[in-house]
Homo-oligomer: A and B are copies of this chain.
């Protein structure tokens, strides 16, 4: 096995000018949730797995008792209508652990993208607010100035020099290293409180991506998941309040 290894699990698909969409684990798991939902909805087909010596030395356990080495996964989907484009979708268990590992990972992802003729990349992630948000906005950054206006039309928001710390991880690096190869890329970052996985933010990101790709996606499952998470968040809050009250009671007693 090389430092990064790609293993095809189907014949290499023939794709026409495909769009690469990335959603790896990150802030609020927004990108991963969004791409996984997209993959399920459009019934994309897994065609390759990526392994890296910079991923943790770990296997996960499937429900049937079998193991799987931690990995990233490539899916494809072929356009059904004239206003659609072929898609390559990327998700996975981990990003690289080290700086060098991240660069190697992204270089290999870009190699795959270019091998299948992709010149356009969308990376999905979260933008941590540190507080709750009713209607998460979707921040945007892009490799090319000419993409700013169209992305605004799709509902994405550009805030001057935001995020202030730039974009860290695969979502940023795919654009940065892609830019050096002449690829066009855009990153969508859904606002998220950070505390928990955030299907609501993932939905906000997907809504924009749907407008761009013209794929048909039922978002109701993400909405259900969002309600579940809200319920959990509510419960956590109550537990916190109860323990606060108790400790105050104790103060009165003590």
Interface residue? A155 (CB, 8 A) = no
| Residue pair B61, A167 in contact (C-beta under 8 Å) | yes
Nearest residue, chain B, Cβ from A169: B57
Q: Contact between B176 and A64 (Cβ–Cβ < 8 Å)? A: no
CB distance B142 to A67 under 8 Å? yes
Could you tell me if A57 and B103 are in contact, using CB atoms closer than 8 angstroms? Answer: yes
**Would B1 and A158 count as touching, CB distance under 8 A?**
no
Q: A57-B170, A58-B168 are in contact. Are A145 and B64 (CB under 8 A)?
A: yes
Interface pair A66/B142, CB less than 8 Å apart? yes
- B161 engages A57 (CB within 8 Å): no
Looking at chain A, what size class is its interface with the partner chain? 35 or more
In the complex the two chains form, is A67's CB within 8 Å of B168's CB? no
Q: Which residues of chain B are within 8 angstroms of A1 by Cβ–Cβ distance?
A: 103, 107, 177, 180
Q: Are the CB atoms of A59 and B176 closer together than 8 Å?
A: yes
* A 85-117 binary contact with B (CB < 8 Å = 1; else 0): 000000000001101111110110000000000
Interface presence of A254 (CB below 8 A):
no
Contact string against B for A residues 36-77, beta-carbon threshold 8 Å, 1 for contact and 0 otherwise: 000000000000000101111111111111111110000000
- Which of A57, A63, A97, A164 has the most CB atoms of chain B within a 10 A radius of its CB? A57
Establish whether residues A106 and B57, one from each chain, have CB atoms under 8 Å apart when the complex forms.
yes
Q: How far is the CB of A152 from chain B (nearest CB, A)?
A: 9
**Selected contact of A65 from candidates B145, B168, B169, CB within 8 Å:** B145
When distances are taken between beta carbons in the complex, the residues of chain B under 8 Å from A3 are 100
By the criterion CB–CB under 8 Å, are B173 and A53 in contact? no
Q: In the complex, are the beta carbons of B142 and A173 less than 8 A apart? A: no
A63 partner residues in chain B, CB cutoff 8 A: 160-161
* Interface membership of A214, Cβ < 8 A: no
Other A-B pairs beyond A58-B169, A59-B141, A67-B141, 7, CB < 8 Å:
A7-B180, A53-B104, A56-B168, A57-B170, A61-B167, A64-B145, A67-B175
Q: List 16 A-B contacts (CB under 8 A).
A: A53-B100, A54-B100, A55-B99, A57-B99, A57-B169, A57-B173, A58-B165, A59-B166, A60-B166, A66-B144, A66-B145, A67-B143, A67-B167, A67-B172, A68-B179, A69-B176
